[in-house]
Amino acid sequence: MRPTRFAWRLAVTALIAAASASHAQTSSNDVARGRQLFSLGAPPLPACALCHKLQDAKATGAVGPDLDDLMPDAARVETALRNGMGPMPSFAALGDEQIRLLARYVAQAAGARKP
């Protein structure tokens, strides 16, 4: 039974991985745009990089959480951007598209596990 069950689990895992990969695929263009938004901000809104560490963006901010360590998923980043979190004010002024772009980028760059 055990090997069969193991094989089943492998197959299911592979299926889920494939499905979520195609679903959550972020185009290289989006990654570049997300990274740029992260590094430079959207004036007058300051850049994420001023406060946060994120290796992918060569960001070394040391004010707020280290994102490589925190590994937030996209939903968590989106919530933080929309509502603010702790001392971080809301970045809702970015607008929906840029918020989603940044959320996807940070989640991917920080290595968030799939929810």
Residue position matching structure tokens 């980028």 = 105
Binder among 83, 96, 114, 115 for another protein (CB under 8 A): 83
Which strand (E) or helix (H) includes residue 11?
Answer: helix 2-24
Residue number with CB closer to another protein (80 or 101): 80
> Quick check: 70 binds another protein (CB under 8 A)?
yes
Q: In terms of CB distance, is 7 or 93 closer to another protein? A: 93
Q: Does 51 bind another protein (CB under 8 A)?
A: yes
Q: Cβ(3)–Cβ(11) under 8 Å?
A: no
**C-alpha separations of 40 from 10, 44, 75, 93 in Å:** 42, 10, 22, 15
Tally Cβ neighbours within 10 Å of residue 68.
15
List the interface residues with another protein, window 13-32 (CB under 8 A). Answer: none
Q: Using CB under 8 A as the criterion, which residues of the chain lie in contact with another protein when the complex forms?
A: 41, 46-47, 50-51, 61-66, 69-71, 76, 79-80, 82-90, 113
